[in-house]
Amino acid sequence: MTFFEPTDTAALTQAFPKLPFGLKHHFVGNPLLTLPTLAELVGRLPRDRLEYNSGSAAISQRPETTPTVDLEPEQIVRNIESAGAWMVLKSVEQEPAYRKMIESALMEVARTRGFDSLKAAGFEDIRGFIFVSSAQSTTPFHADADENFFFQIHGDKFFHVYDNRDRSIAPEEALEASAIKHRNLPYEAKFDAKCTTYKLKPGDGVFVPYQWPHWVRTADSYSISLSLTWKSQEVRRRNDIFAVNAMLRGVGMPQNPPGVNPALDAAKVAAFRAASAAVEPLRRNEGMRRAIRRLVKGRDANYYYREAGKPDVKAS
Ligand SMILES: [Fe+2]
Protein backbone atom coordinates (compact mmCIF):
# COMPACT_ATOMS: atom_id res chain seq x y z
CA MET A 1 0.00 0.00 0.00
CA THR A 2 1.05 3.58 -0.51
CA PHE A 3 0.14 5.00 2.89
CA PHE A 4 -1.16 2.34 5.11
CA GLU A 5 0.15 -1.01 6.30
CA PRO A 6 -1.83 -2.94 8.92
CA THR A 7 0.53 -5.10 10.94
CA ASP A 8 -2.35 -7.51 11.36
CA THR A 9 -4.79 -7.67 8.42
CA ALA A 10 -7.29 -9.57 10.54
CA ALA A 11 -7.66 -6.44 12.72
CA LEU A 12 -9.03 -4.61 9.68
CA THR A 13 -11.32 -7.34 8.47
CA GLN A 14 -12.72 -9.00 11.60
CA ALA A 15 -13.21 -6.84 14.70
CA PHE A 16 -13.03 -3.50 12.84
CA PRO A 17 -14.10 -0.89 13.91
CA LYS A 18 -14.76 -2.21 17.43
CA LEU A 19 -11.23 -2.83 18.77
CA PRO A 20 -8.00 -0.79 18.73
CA PHE A 21 -4.86 -2.05 16.98
CA GLY A 22 -1.38 -0.85 16.05
CA LEU A 23 -0.25 -0.31 12.44
CA LYS A 24 2.58 0.92 10.22
CA HIS A 25 2.28 3.73 7.65
CA HIS A 26 4.22 5.64 4.99
CA PHE A 27 3.30 9.29 5.69
CA VAL A 28 6.75 10.15 7.09
CA GLY A 29 8.51 12.51 4.67
CA ASN A 30 5.27 13.58 2.98
CA PRO A 31 5.83 17.29 2.07
CA LEU A 32 2.30 18.18 3.31
CA LEU A 33 3.34 17.18 6.84
CA THR A 34 6.56 19.12 7.41
CA LEU A 35 6.88 22.07 9.82
CA PRO A 36 7.39 24.79 7.13
CA THR A 37 4.32 23.60 5.17
CA LEU A 38 2.25 23.40 8.35
CA ALA A 39 3.31 26.93 9.41
CA GLU A 40 2.00 28.23 6.08
CA LEU A 41 -1.21 26.24 6.48
CA VAL A 42 -1.77 27.65 9.98
CA GLY A 43 -1.41 31.16 8.53
CA ARG A 44 -4.37 30.67 6.21
CA LEU A 45 -6.78 28.56 8.31
CA PRO A 46 -9.81 30.31 9.90
CA ARG A 47 -9.34 30.83 13.65
CA ASP A 48 -11.98 28.27 14.60
CA ARG A 49 -10.02 25.53 12.85
CA LEU A 50 -7.08 26.02 15.23
CA GLU A 51 -6.91 25.02 18.88
CA TYR A 52 -3.79 25.49 20.98
CA ASN A 53 -2.65 25.73 24.56
CA SER A 54 0.33 25.03 26.79
CA GLY A 55 1.72 21.52 26.54
CA SER A 56 1.69 21.31 30.34
CA ALA A 57 -2.00 20.32 30.58
CA ALA A 58 -2.82 17.62 33.15
CA ILE A 59 -3.99 14.12 32.24
CA SER A 60 -7.22 14.88 34.09
CA GLN A 61 -7.73 18.42 32.81
CA ARG A 62 -10.86 20.52 33.27
CA PRO A 63 -11.27 22.39 29.96
CA GLU A 64 -11.86 25.81 31.55
CA THR A 65 -8.52 25.73 33.40
CA THR A 66 -6.36 24.47 30.53
CA PRO A 67 -3.09 26.47 30.68
CA THR A 68 -2.74 28.84 27.74
CA VAL A 69 0.32 29.81 25.70
CA ASP A 70 1.09 33.42 24.80
CA LEU A 71 2.18 32.99 21.17
CA GLU A 72 0.50 33.51 17.82
CA PRO A 73 -0.43 30.25 16.03
CA GLU A 74 2.18 30.58 13.27
CA GLN A 75 4.89 31.38 15.86
CA ILE A 76 3.97 28.22 17.75
CA VAL A 77 4.60 26.02 14.71
CA ARG A 78 7.80 27.81 13.70
CA ASN A 79 9.14 27.61 17.28
CA ILE A 80 7.64 24.29 18.34
CA GLU A 81 10.99 23.01 19.67
CA SER A 82 10.96 25.67 22.41
CA ALA A 83 7.30 26.83 22.57
CA GLY A 84 6.10 24.34 25.22
CA ALA A 85 2.84 24.19 23.29
CA TRP A 86 0.19 21.82 21.95
CA MET A 87 -1.78 22.63 18.80
CA VAL A 88 -4.30 20.96 16.51
CA LEU A 89 -5.13 22.03 12.95
CA LYS A 90 -8.72 20.96 12.35
CA SER A 91 -10.54 19.84 9.20
CA VAL A 92 -7.48 20.02 6.96
CA GLU A 93 -9.51 17.92 4.46
CA GLN A 94 -10.96 21.25 3.31
CA GLU A 95 -7.60 21.91 1.61
CA PRO A 96 -7.62 20.00 -1.73
CA ALA A 97 -4.10 18.51 -1.41
CA TYR A 98 -4.82 17.18 2.07
CA ARG A 99 -8.23 15.88 1.00
CA LYS A 100 -6.61 13.88 -1.80
CA MET A 101 -4.04 12.39 0.59
CA ILE A 102 -6.67 11.53 3.22
CA GLU A 103 -9.12 9.97 0.79
CA SER A 104 -6.36 7.96 -0.88
CA ALA A 105 -5.31 6.53 2.49
CA LEU A 106 -8.85 5.62 3.53
CA MET A 107 -9.52 4.14 0.08
CA GLU A 108 -6.65 1.72 0.73
CA VAL A 109 -8.38 0.65 3.93
CA ALA A 110 -11.71 0.35 2.09
CA ARG A 111 -10.18 -1.94 -0.57
CA THR A 112 -8.49 -4.11 2.08
CA ARG A 113 -11.91 -4.52 3.63
CA GLY A 114 -13.43 -5.51 0.27
CA PHE A 115 -15.22 -2.26 -0.64
CA ASP A 116 -14.83 -0.25 -3.85
CA SER A 117 -15.77 3.20 -2.49
CA LEU A 118 -15.35 5.24 0.69
CA LYS A 119 -19.11 5.43 1.19
CA ALA A 120 -19.56 1.67 0.77
CA ALA A 121 -16.90 1.18 3.46
CA GLY A 122 -18.85 3.45 5.84
CA PHE A 123 -16.34 6.33 5.69
CA GLU A 124 -18.58 9.41 5.83
CA ASP A 125 -17.89 12.90 7.19
CA ILE A 126 -14.17 12.28 6.63
CA ARG A 127 -11.89 14.76 8.40
CA GLY A 128 -8.19 15.31 8.90
CA PHE A 129 -6.51 16.71 12.00
CA ILE A 130 -2.81 17.51 12.36
CA PHE A 131 -1.27 17.75 15.83
CA VAL A 132 1.90 19.78 16.36
CA SER A 133 3.27 19.66 19.89
CA SER A 134 6.42 20.35 21.87
CA ALA A 135 8.39 17.74 23.81
CA GLN A 136 6.74 16.48 27.02
CA SER A 137 3.29 17.78 26.01
CA THR A 138 0.11 16.13 27.23
CA THR A 139 -3.19 15.65 25.44
CA PRO A 140 -5.58 15.20 28.39
CA PHE A 141 -7.79 12.14 28.90
CA HIS A 142 -10.76 12.36 26.53
CA ALA A 143 -13.10 10.52 24.17
CA ASP A 144 -13.77 11.42 20.53
CA ALA A 145 -17.14 11.09 18.82
CA ASP A 146 -15.67 9.55 15.67
CA GLU A 147 -13.52 6.66 14.47
CA ASN A 148 -9.87 7.46 14.10
CA PHE A 149 -6.63 6.32 12.46
CA PHE A 150 -3.76 8.09 14.22
CA PHE A 151 -0.38 8.26 12.45
CA GLN A 152 2.86 9.38 14.11
CA ILE A 153 4.99 11.49 11.72
CA HIS A 154 7.79 13.09 13.80
CA GLY A 155 9.05 12.44 17.34
CA ASP A 156 7.87 9.72 19.69
CA LYS A 157 4.49 9.56 21.42
CA PHE A 158 2.97 7.42 24.15
CA PHE A 159 -0.65 6.76 23.23
CA HIS A 160 -2.73 5.34 26.11
CA VAL A 161 -6.10 3.77 25.14
CA TYR A 162 -8.72 2.52 27.62
CA ASP A 163 -11.39 -0.13 27.25
CA ASN A 164 -14.68 1.40 28.38
CA ARG A 165 -17.08 -1.14 26.93
CA ASP A 166 -18.51 -1.78 30.41
CA ARG A 167 -18.86 2.01 30.97
CA SER A 168 -16.91 1.78 34.26
CA ILE A 169 -14.58 4.62 33.18
CA ALA A 170 -17.10 6.97 31.59
CA PRO A 171 -20.85 6.24 31.89
CA GLU A 172 -23.29 7.09 29.08
CA GLU A 173 -23.96 10.58 30.45
CA ALA A 174 -20.23 11.40 30.49
CA LEU A 175 -19.89 10.07 26.93
CA GLU A 176 -22.82 12.28 25.87
CA ALA A 177 -21.07 15.30 27.42
CA SER A 178 -17.78 14.40 25.72
CA ALA A 179 -19.55 14.20 22.34
CA ILE A 180 -21.53 17.42 22.75
CA LYS A 181 -19.84 19.82 25.18
CA HIS A 182 -16.13 19.11 25.59
CA ARG A 183 -14.19 15.93 24.83
CA ASN A 184 -12.20 15.82 28.12
CA LEU A 185 -13.04 13.21 30.79
CA PRO A 186 -11.92 13.08 34.44
CA TYR A 187 -9.15 10.52 35.08
CA GLU A 188 -8.78 8.27 38.13
CA ALA A 189 -5.81 6.03 39.05
CA LYS A 190 -8.08 2.96 39.12
CA PHE A 191 -8.43 3.27 35.32
CA ASP A 192 -4.74 2.27 34.91
CA ALA A 193 -5.66 -1.43 34.81
CA LYS A 194 -7.73 -0.92 31.64
CA CYS A 195 -4.96 0.83 29.70
CA THR A 196 -3.12 -0.35 26.60
CA THR A 197 -0.11 1.82 25.77
CA TYR A 198 1.14 2.17 22.18
CA LYS A 199 4.71 3.50 22.00
CA LEU A 200 4.56 5.27 18.66
CA LYS A 201 7.66 6.16 16.66
CA PRO A 202 7.52 7.90 13.26
CA GLY A 203 5.95 5.35 10.91
CA ASP A 204 3.78 3.80 13.66
CA GLY A 205 0.06 4.34 14.16
CA VAL A 206 -2.99 3.17 16.05
CA PHE A 207 -6.67 2.74 15.31
CA VAL A 208 -8.93 4.23 18.01
CA PRO A 209 -12.56 3.02 18.05
CA TYR A 210 -15.50 5.40 18.60
CA GLN A 211 -15.45 6.92 22.11
CA TRP A 212 -12.64 4.75 23.47
CA PRO A 213 -11.03 7.10 26.03
CA HIS A 214 -7.34 7.97 25.59
CA TRP A 215 -4.61 10.38 26.58
CA VAL A 216 -1.31 11.06 24.89
CA ARG A 217 2.13 12.39 25.83
CA THR A 218 5.01 13.35 23.57
CA ALA A 219 8.50 12.11 24.45
CA ASP A 220 11.69 14.20 24.35
CA SER A 221 11.31 15.74 20.88
CA TYR A 222 8.64 17.86 19.21
CA SER A 223 5.90 15.83 17.56
CA ILE A 224 3.83 15.90 14.38
CA SER A 225 0.87 13.51 14.10
CA LEU A 226 -1.90 13.03 11.57
CA SER A 227 -5.35 11.85 12.54
CA LEU A 228 -7.89 10.68 9.94
CA THR A 229 -11.42 10.44 11.25
CA TRP A 230 -14.82 9.50 9.89
CA LYS A 231 -18.30 8.81 11.11
CA SER A 232 -20.19 5.73 9.99
CA GLN A 233 -23.99 5.92 9.76
CA GLU A 234 -24.19 4.20 13.14
CA VAL A 235 -21.85 6.74 14.73
CA ARG A 236 -23.66 9.74 13.19
CA ARG A 237 -26.97 8.41 14.44
CA ARG A 238 -25.62 7.93 17.97
CA ASN A 239 -24.09 11.43 17.97
CA ASP A 240 -27.38 12.98 16.79
CA ILE A 241 -29.28 11.25 19.61
CA PHE A 242 -26.66 12.51 22.07
CA ALA A 243 -27.19 16.06 20.75
CA VAL A 244 -30.97 15.91 21.27
CA ASN A 245 -30.54 14.27 24.70
CA ALA A 246 -28.11 17.01 25.76
CA MET A 247 -30.56 19.75 24.74
CA LEU A 248 -33.45 18.05 26.58
CA ARG A 249 -31.26 17.44 29.63
CA GLY A 250 -30.43 21.16 29.53
CA VAL A 251 -34.12 22.03 29.96
CA GLY A 252 -34.60 19.56 32.81
CA MET A 253 -35.70 16.50 30.79
CA PRO A 254 -33.09 13.73 31.33
CA GLN A 255 -33.20 11.05 28.62
CA ASN A 256 -32.26 7.38 28.21
CA PRO A 257 -29.00 6.75 26.36
CA PRO A 258 -29.17 5.72 22.67
CA GLY A 259 -30.55 2.20 22.14
CA VAL A 260 -32.98 2.00 25.07
CA ASN A 261 -36.02 3.28 23.14
CA PRO A 262 -35.46 2.78 19.38
CA ALA A 263 -38.72 4.49 18.30
CA LEU A 264 -37.96 7.60 20.33
CA ASP A 265 -34.35 7.50 19.07
CA ALA A 266 -35.66 7.56 15.48
CA ALA A 267 -37.85 10.58 16.21
CA LYS A 268 -34.92 12.42 17.81
CA VAL A 269 -32.66 11.72 14.82
CA ALA A 270 -35.31 12.93 12.35
CA ALA A 271 -35.96 16.14 14.31
CA PHE A 272 -32.27 16.89 14.78
CA ARG A 273 -31.43 16.39 11.09
CA ALA A 274 -34.32 18.60 9.94
CA ALA A 275 -33.15 21.39 12.27
CA SER A 276 -29.50 20.96 11.23
CA ALA A 277 -30.40 21.15 7.51
CA ALA A 278 -32.27 24.40 8.16
CA VAL A 279 -29.23 26.17 9.65
CA GLU A 280 -26.58 24.58 7.38
CA PRO A 281 -26.35 27.56 4.93
CA LEU A 282 -25.53 29.85 7.86
CA ARG A 283 -22.48 27.75 8.78
CA ARG A 284 -20.45 29.09 5.84
CA ASN A 285 -19.68 32.16 7.94
CA GLU A 286 -17.30 31.84 10.92
CA GLY A 287 -19.29 34.32 13.05
CA MET A 288 -22.49 32.37 12.45
CA ARG A 289 -20.73 29.07 13.22
CA ARG A 290 -19.67 30.60 16.53
CA ALA A 291 -23.21 31.79 17.32
CA ILE A 292 -24.75 28.42 16.41
CA ARG A 293 -22.21 26.53 18.54
CA ARG A 294 -23.09 28.71 21.52
CA LEU A 295 -26.82 28.29 20.95
CA VAL A 296 -26.68 24.49 20.65
CA LYS A 297 -23.83 23.60 22.98
CA GLY A 298 -23.85 26.38 25.56
CA ARG A 299 -21.59 29.25 26.51
CA ASP A 300 -18.39 27.19 26.80
CA ALA A 301 -18.66 25.71 23.31
CA ASN A 302 -16.31 28.32 21.88
CA TYR A 303 -13.58 27.60 24.44
CA TYR A 304 -10.83 27.51 21.84
CA TYR A 305 -11.12 31.26 21.23
CA ARG A 306 -9.64 31.78 24.70
CA GLU A 307 -6.64 34.06 24.75
CA ALA A 308 -3.55 33.72 26.94
CA GLY A 309 -4.11 35.11 30.43
CA LYS A 310 -7.90 35.36 29.89
CA PRO A 311 -9.38 32.12 31.20
CA ASP A 312 -12.99 32.89 30.27
CA VAL A 313 -14.48 32.76 26.82
CA LYS A 314 -14.71 36.27 25.43
CA ALA A 315 -18.00 37.34 23.86
CA SER A 316 -18.84 33.83 22.72
FE1 LIG B 1 -8.38 11.95 20.60
HEC sequence for 181-247? CCCECCCCHHHHHHEEEEEECCCEEEEECCCCCEEEEECCCCEEEEEEEEECHHHHHHHHHHHHHHH
CA 152 – ligand 1 centroid, Å:
13
Max mean pLDDT among 22-36, 268-282, 300-314 falls in 22-36
CA 144 – ligand 1 centroid, Å:
5
CA 263 – ligand 1 centroid, Å:
31
CA 218 – ligand 1 centroid, Å:
14
pLDDT of residue 301: 62
pLDDT of residue 307: 54
CA 266 – ligand 1 centroid, Å:
28
CA 160 – ligand 1 centroid, Å:
10
pLDDT of residue 310: 47
CA 183 – ligand 1 centroid, Å:
8
Reply yes or no on whether the pLDDT at 95 is more than 50. Answer: yes
CA 286 – ligand 1 centroid, Å:
24
Nearest to 156 by CA among 88, 97, 205, 194: 205
Share of the chain above pLDDT 70, in %: 91
CA 143 – ligand 1 centroid, Å:
6
pLDDT of residue 311: 42
CA 224 – ligand 1 centroid, Å:
14
Q: Which of 65-69, 102-106, 283-287 has the lowest mean pLDDT?
A: 283-287
pLDDT, tens digit (0-9, with 9 covering 90-100), for 206-249: 999 999 999 999 999 999 999 999 999 999 999 999 999 988 88
